[in-house]
Amino acid sequence: MNLKRQDILVTLKLLVRGGLDCTFAQLGRELGISASEANQAFHRARQAGLIHPLEDVAIESSVAELLIHGLKYVFPVQPGRRTRGMPTGFAAPPLKQFFKVVRDDPNLPVWPDPEGEYAGVEIKPMSRSVPDAARRDPKLYEWLVLADALRGAGRARERELAEKIVHEKLGGHAPH
């Protein structure tokens, strides 16, 4: 069984929601994917040990371990061309507060998005629907930004800050 990018998106959404408390159709609408894609992603994430088999909630310790130690190997960032998009990495919350973000910085990491207000270096998101899902859910946006920082969308300082924030957000459930 191989994880797909959408599995991470669904898992992070369940982490934000506190569990699966809706239909797959509703979950899919919130994430900009189909009901069947949401269903398949949910079941792959559950099989991978990211979602509790009985309670349908994200297992915080497993999610933290994957984010901090695994994403950079499974879904590494490979910066692309200059494009218009939505900020991620050090240029977006919760990391943005720690850095001086200049709107016209050519190294600004962005998810490609025709509605984006920034130009920067393309970072392939966890799913093509990420910018829209992030606009609809600011908490999900923060988790996706942290995931990007941890999978290599930034320098060492950004990754260290992202890891620290994951530890803080998950309390005692993050691996050390």
**Which backbone phi and psi does 106 adopt, to 5 degrees?**
-65, -15
CATH, domain range 5-74: 1.10.10
Residues 6+ apart with CB under 8 A from 138: 93
- The type of residue at 127 is S
Q: What does R_g of the chain's alpha carbons equal in angstroms?
A: 15
CATH 1.10.10: which residues of the chain?
Answer: 5-74
Task: Note the pLDDT tens digit of each residue in 51-85.
Answer: 999 999 999 999 999 999 999 999 999 899 999 99
Helix (H, G, I), strand (E, B) or coil at 146: helix
Q: Alpha helices, DSSP H only, in the chain?
A: 5-17, 24-31, 35-47, 60-65, 71-74, 130-136, 138-150, 156-170
According to the model, what pLDDT value does residue 40 have? 98
% the chain with pLDDT above 90? 86
Task: Note the pLDDT tens digit of each residue in 72-127.
Answer: 999 999 899 999 999 999 999 999 999 888 777 888 999 999 999 899 999 999 99
According to the model, what pLDDT value does residue 120 have? 94
pLDDT of 176 strictly over 70: no
Place of tokens 């994957």: 66
Q: Residues 143-165, buried b or exposed e (16+ Cβ, 10 A)?
A: bbbbbbbbbbbbeeebbebbbeb
CB distance 174 to 68 below 8 Å: yes
Mean pLDDT of 135-161: 93
